[in-house]
Structure formats: structure tokens, C-alpha cells
Structure 1
Amino acid sequence: MTKIWNESGFLADDPWIIETEEVQAGSNEKAILGLDAFLAKTDETGLGVLINPADDVRRLEGHLDRLALVAVAFPAFNDGRAFSHASLLRARLGFAGEVRAVGDVLIDQIPLMLRCGVDSFAVSNATALKRLAENRLPGIDNHYQPTARPSQDVGSYSWRRRA
């Protein structure tokens, strides 16, 4: 069972559906399309796009105003390319809409995903669901790198280097 979580808690009625050959968005749902399918729909707005690890997120440049949501795929816990995708979307491309992590979303990685600009999560991992329901998000004491979302902690080190 997958639930959508953001820093306000779990969302009850999320309308977004990742479209595949077998699954299509219904009348009360919103479509998340693959990158090529999204780019083929040149005149539609309010869509979502799924960025897979091998996709070039820079292909969205010039189309970000048509997007309501960008889902970045984490197919396995050890594939971190979506961290870079989220960071590029926020810091270099200036995307201000929702960035959602989908796939293998683990509790230990959520604080790092937040710092890279991800703001919602499709969570199916039982441990992550339990910890999020208990409001037990792991913390990170010090940050050495600047990110799309700087640390609020005055004692962190994220000020040392600028991107």
C-alpha cells in the first residue's frame, strides 16, 4: 500500500496517477506521464511528469510552466540519481512546483530528499510508513553542502560553500 506524505502529514485524496500501458488516469485523477510522452503533449498544462534515473531532467527546461508536479524515481535505495534530478530542478531550472519522490523511498533518505528539494513522497516501505505516522523523521545535525533547501539550524555548516 502506497501513501503520499509531505511535511504536513499523509494526504487523504491525492489525485496523481503514474500512467502506464495498464493504468490510465480517470476523470477525477491527474496524469503523471513519462518524459517523452509529456514532451509530445506540447499544449497541455497541469500535467505531471515522471523522471526516471537515466532521463535528462534538463529536457524540461522551457516546459516547467506547464507542469504541476515532477515525480523523481528512486527505483532502488542505492540509486541516487533522483537526488541530482531534484536538485537540478530546484537550483538550476528554478522549478517551484511539487517534486515527489516515488519508488524505493526509505525513512533514512527522506531528510536528504527534503534538502534536495523533494517535498512529497510516495511511501510504501512499512518502516517508513510507521515512523512517518509517529512523526519520527531522522535528523541530520550538520550540513556541509549547500542545497535547494538550506538548513534552518544555525549551528550547521551549509554556509561554508556556495554552489
Structure 2
Amino acid sequence: MNNITLIGMPGAGKSTLGVVLAKILGYEFLDSDLLIQKEEKRRLYQIIDEEGEEGFKAIENRVNASIETEDTVIATGGSVVYCSEAMEHLKSIGKVVYLRLSLESLEKRLGNLKKRGVLLKEGQTLKSLYEERVPLYEKYADIVVDEEGKDLEASLQALLETLQKEINK
């Protein structure tokens, strides 16, 4: 399988970069958060409010583990790395790319985390969430693209160059 799955923190640009990357490669584009909303007929924050953290993770795991596609750029929700079954599946159907960005840059990009459907534990800060997730992103990534100090165009260029090197291995 030759899919490209993008992982990373909320605000790292998975959906934005994913759409443009799919166009350049001639691939389909799939946003797994939108797939979850479509299957559940609810917004992400509603699912989190109604099902709680563990209920949301179970839904996220099920939906992501059931993705069957080819020639597709898949943008995942930032919390997908908590779902080991889903991550193993995504790795089995293509390359997993971690879009890395510093905490400081993310703080500048992000607005209301609750309305974005970001999975936060009670009292959890963006900093503690970042520190919790980064090791998981690094664990599952086949490829890491550093986005620090880059705009959309520069991030896209770095991603394309990194993918080209991977293909030529």
C-alpha cells in the first residue's frame, strides 16, 4: 500500500498540508476526523463531551483501524497515536509522517482547543499534552518532517523532498 498518513499535534498542518500534497501527488485526500464525524453524525467535541476521553479513543481507534484505501494522503487527528491498533493499521497501509513543530509555534497557531475537538484530560495544558504525545509521534513515525519556522510552501517542499529520499532508498 502506498498511502501517506500525517500525524502530529493539532495545528501542525496535517489537513492543510495533506490537501495540497494530495493534489501534487495525484492522490485522494482523507481527513480521519471528518470520517469520525460522518460515521458518528456528531462533531468531535460533542463526541468527547458525550462519550468521554476513553469513549472517543475507542471510536477514533475503530474508525482509523478500518480505513481501507490506496494512493491517499490521510490526515489524522492528533490523538490517533493513543490508538495502537489504528496506528499499526495505518503503518501497514503506507508511510506515517510526523509533522514536527515546537510548542511555542503551536501556541501561536492554536485557538480554542475545546472547539477544535482536542482530547484534553481535566486540567491538562497544551504543554503537558505536547510532552505526552511527542514520544508517541516519534515512536510511530516512519518519516519526520520539521516544520519549525516554515510557512505552508516551505513545509510542503520539505515534505516532498523527504518523501522523495524515502522513495529512492
- Aligning the two structures, in what range does the TM-score lie when normalised by the shorter sequence? 0.3 to 0.5
> Which one has a larger percent helix, Structure 1 or Structure 2?
2
Report the TM-score when normalising by structure 1. Answer: 0.33
Q: Considering only CA atoms, is the larger Rg found in Structure 1 or Structure 2? A: 1
Q: Higher relative CO (CA 8 A, sep ≥ 6), structure 1 or 2?
A: 2
